[in-house]
Structure 1
Amino acid sequence: MEKDKVRIEVECKFLMSKEIEDLKNFLEKIVEKANNEVFVRGVPEIYLKDAAKIVDWNVEDKNLILKIISGTYARAPSAILRFKKLLAEELGLKFKVGVRGLETQKIRFKIPVEKISNEILSKIKNLTYVENVYYEENNIIVDLKPVEEAELKKNVPDRVFAVVRDILREKKEAEVSPAPPLIVVRQSEPKKIKFKDDPVKVALELGWIKEFPGRGQWTYTTPYVKLLETIENILLEEVIHKLGFQPFMLPKLIPLEIMQKMPGYLEEIPEGMYYVCPPPRDPEAFTEFKEVVRVTKTVPKDILKNVVKEPEYVLSPAQCEPFWYFFSHEVLRVEDLPFKLYDRSGWTYRWEGGGVEGLARLQEFRRIELVYVGTPEQVVEIRDSIVDKVVDVVDRILELEWRVVAATPFYMKGGEIGDVSDSKNVAAFDVEIYLPYRGEKGKAEWLEIAGCFIHKEKFVKNFSIHEAKNRPIWTGCTGLGTSRWVTAFLATHGFNPKNWPSMVKEKFGSYTLPRTLLWPKKFEE
């Protein structure tokens, strides 16, 4: 195996049902069969040098101990299970000897790297399955903790290897690659600035919203809700219905096994979701909790934590998860496509942590989610038509200052944007709005109000969606963050309906706001 290539080493022990000292000659034939047939089956000739190979073995009592090496093709950890199957078949058939178990004594990755920082070594060392990591002779050496057979079946060593490679790749890209430039595909003419205040401050004073104890949450009162409904109805009329989308209502409590199929979420941003722990069905489990609440008039969170079950769900962070599960393992026909569906039935939840900002970045917010399934050409055409319709609404009806930016989804790590003149090269178009209160246009962060995506085959593969004749089908989705649309509108036009664009003013109508002796702080003129 070449010195400048990745090397994977495995040492493992097979626990047999009987002593096998007298079977060494037969075991040697099994090892040869594994090396010459089983481990190289399906491996292209150019990769044979990288395939797994048993380089040493010996017998100790009832145990068979192996050392396997490989490159990155047909890797050594995967070879363990393939050899176990072969061993059980050969010894069981001829000698009635079974394989009672296996132990991994060593799994080591040796990856060529010119130089490495202590920060990167520490980051790799902190991975759950990593026991030790060090740098030696232009190689980073990563030793894994012992893994069980069940973890081998789940390809845990391969997944750890992929994470290590990602960390090293990120480090390399950070050294040689500048931040990607903002690619503005098109942009509106400058709009007249009517309002410069932070809308959250004015909304609180006028009583359009009221504080709620939850971080990144508000109680929205009548005028805010009427404006939200007005904008949502405009989007329904001008975008969704005109493009032929049909309504669905989807669950917002998402099982973790479904979330696991969503690209990037649990692997990349698990810190950005709310996790739900269901209670046990036994009322007696809450006896102590109820007594403490009754006596102390406090909520004993430590007791509650010990009563509830482990997390089984997340509150929907994407809104489209049930759409893809709906099509999972179904067989579609190109002749019946495209499917164009939308959901506007509830809230979306994301844990923003320190990123919460007024009305612009919330942890509980409204969205209209559009999804589309079709041929590659259909999906690209649908996504682009959504962008066009959204821009028309933003420009002609809402009179906001906008731009369309070519972007890369978070789950496409290191993804590059191709030639933007050909739309199929662009995974995402974001529609962004300038907010005057954030400062100068050239320096201020614009607010994304719509993310319009094509996934290609990513979701089709993850959710096992099939076409009857194996013809290619793609998926895509668009999130219209209507809470952000309201923020962008108020930041541009202010809170006096007299100053609003005509269609919004007409649909908004009048309202009555309940008042108390102390709230709201200001009365609208």
Structure 2
Amino acid sequence: MAQHRIALTEPLPAELAGELAQRIYFLSESIVDFTLPGGDGELTEVVLRTDGPGSPGDAADLAAKVNRMADEEVRPQRAGPPKIVWTSPHSGEVHDVAGELLGSGELVHMGPGQFALGPAVTALMEYFDRRLTGMVAAEFGARQYRYPTLIATETMRRCGYFSSFPHFLMLVTRLHADADNYRGFLADVEASDGGLPGLLDYCGDTSHCLPPTMCYHTYRHLQDQPLPSPGLVITARGKSFRHESRYWRSLERLWDFTIREIVFLGGREEVLDQRRRMLELTTAFAAELGLGGHCEVGNDPFFGSVESPQRAWSQRLLELKYELRLPIGPEKTLAAASFNFHDDFFGRSFGIRPHDGGPGPVITGCAGIGLERFTYAFLCRHGADPAGWPQDVRIETDPRARLG
């Protein structure tokens, strides 16, 4: 392992340390760890640790990548505290329970960014989803759909995902359909004693991806047609996938996770009001569960473009995104839900038209609740032992509690 001390071309304000930190691992597969030494309110260098012995050429390449990213994507960011739109009335001791969950078998590490959930955690997550689904059915008359896991690459392109979040993209491929290709593949597998060397040499299809969120399926579902009613609310639950590189950690940041999504389609004021109401319902539910935290104006983690800082600033300025942040430890929160307004972007991109045949695309918004994250925040507040959970939650998640 090699260590590289990389001087920044110009100091960065300490307030931008988080923006820098969330991009480091995406600069090179060789980076295995990093620190951001700071002092006097600013950052002047980045310390990277990489696989292998390292070389002057490696150091120069890494320095160029770090400084280009810092100069183009981080330095132009406008630092400052986020606007808070809701604060929980609750506070209390919160501690990270990942170790306890792993020790009890309620959390099983299956690979980078992948965990299996045990019976108690699964029951808890299912309870939260039932409550959320009931809310959106009662409040909005939401229609519930179950979408495929795979999503077309063309759909992702129309959503603008490639130009916004290339670092999260997870493609699906398959062996090219050709008899000679299959024979060559089988011969290589046999020769390598069951290994998979050069696997991608036999693959040639990238027509599908793993979905990074559920709402993209809804836009594809409704593309090139008018809405079936003046306004429409659709909800879906499904597995979502984002390549979080080395940032994965327990249930707070996964490569493979579950989202309960609610999509609002219709007129501008209607969609904005529905987004506001969904935020109110979700924060009230968090407060009912005794969770601390707050809801703040946020932005998406745009990456890889000189336009990223301006796009992030526009989101915050126009309050296009709110994030519900729940505590999982002292001075540490995670975004467990987001509430988004897209204006006419997806309506235009997918040709979704008003019900009455009027001109112009429909307006859309959505809310997404990360079920593993929401569940994890609850466990960090109330503990890994169901005996410490609120009684109504225990009754709904443990059949034995109903008999007690």
TM-score, length of structure 1 as denominator length: 0.58
- Residues 390-416 of structure 1, C-alpha deviations (whole Å, 9 max, x = no match): 0111001x2100211012344675244
CA contact (8 A) 1:199 1:490 kept: yes
Q: Counterpart in 2 of 1:236?
A: 133
Q: Residue 250 of structure 2 aligns to a residue in which SS?
A: coil
Indicate whether 1:434 and 2:327 are aligned: yes
Return the alpha-carbon distance in structure 2 between the equivalents of residues 188 and 239 of structure 1: 21
CA distance in structure 2 between the aligned counterparts of 1:366 and 1:310, rounded to whole angstroms: 26
Distance 1:330 1:176, change over 3 A: closer
Match for residue 326 of structure 1?
221
Tell me how far apart the structure 2 counterparts of residues 260 and 406 of structure 1 sit (CA, whole Å): 26
Counterparts in 2 of 1:323 and 1:418: CA distance versus 1, 3 Å:
closer
Measured in 1, the distance between the counterparts of 2:105 and 2:129 equals: 21
1:361 paired with 2:361, answer no
Equivalent position amino acid for 1:486 in 2: T
Letter of the 1:273 partner, please give it. Answer: L
Q: Distance in 1 between matches of 2:272 and 2:223?
A: 21
What's 2:275 paired with? 383
Structure 2: give runs of 5+ residues left out of the alignment: 1-8, 11-67, 303-307
CA positional deviation for 1:492: 0.8
Which AA in structure 1 matches 2:389? Answer: W
Judge conservation of contact 2:260–2:368 (CA < 8 Å) in 1: yes
2:83 counterpart letter in structure 1: I
Helix, strand or coil for the counterpart of 2:254? coil
Q: Does 1:256 find its partner at 2:147?
A: no
Give the equivalent residue in structure 1 for 2:85.
185
Residue correspondences, number: 328
Offset, 1:181: 2.4
Going from structure 1 to structure 2, the CA distance change for 1:322 and 1:283 (only over 3 Å counts) comes to same
Counterpart Cα distance in 1 of 2:137 and 2:103:
34
**When the two structures are superposed, what TM-score results if normalisation uses the length of structure 2?**
0.74
* Structure 1 segments unaligned to the other structure (5+ residues): 1-116, 119-167, 512-525
The one-letter code sitting in structure 2 at the alignment partner of 1:498 is A
Alignment correspondent of 1:317: 212
Cα deviation for residue 291 of structure 1 reads 3.2
Match status 1:459 vs 2:356: no
Corresponding position of 2:55:
none
**Alignment partner for residue 448 of structure 1, among 335, 358, 371?**
335
**Alpha carbons of structure 1 residues 332 and 210: separation in structure 2 relative to 1, 3 Å:** closer
The separation in 1 between residues aligned to 2:132 and 2:282, in whole angstroms, is: 8
Instruction: Give the Å deviation of 1:268.
Output: 2.5
Q: What pairs with 1:80-479 in structure 2 (closer than 5 Å)?
A: 178-193=78-93, 195-196=94-95, 198-212=96-110, 214-263=111-160, 265-302=161-198, 304-332=199-227, 336-344=229-237, 346-396=238-288, 398-410=289-301, 413-415=309-311, 416=313, 425-436=318-329, 439=330, 441=331, 444=332, 446-467=333-354, 468-470=357-359, 473-479=362-368
Aligned equivalents of 2:195 and 2:75: distance in 1?
49
CA distance in structure 2 between the aligned counterparts of 1:179 and 1:318, rounded to whole angstroms: 28
Query: For 1:137-179, what per-residue CA distance to the aligned partner results, in whole angstroms no more than 9, with x for missing partners?
Result: xxxxxxxxxxxxxxxxxxxxxxxxxxxxxxx9x9589667641
Distance, in Å, in 2 between the alignment partners of 1:279 and 1:174 is 40
Identity of aligned residues (%): 21
1:385 and 1:274 map into 2 onto residues whose CA distance is: 33
2-side partners of 1:449 and 1:359: how far apart?
A: 11
- Matching residue of 1:484: 373
Distance 1:417 1:504, change over 3 A: farther
Equivalent-residue separation in structure 1 for 2:114 and 2:315 (angstroms) = 38
1:235–1:407: structure 2 CA closer, same or farther, 3 Å change rule?
Answer: same
Larger Rg: 1
Aligned-pair CA distance for 1:374: 0.7
- RMSD of aligned residue pairs (Cα, Å): 2.8
Post-superposition shift, 1:430? 0.9
Cα pair 1:231 1:504 within 8 Å, conserved: no
Give the conservation status (yes or no) of the 8 Å contact 1:406–1:417. Answer: no
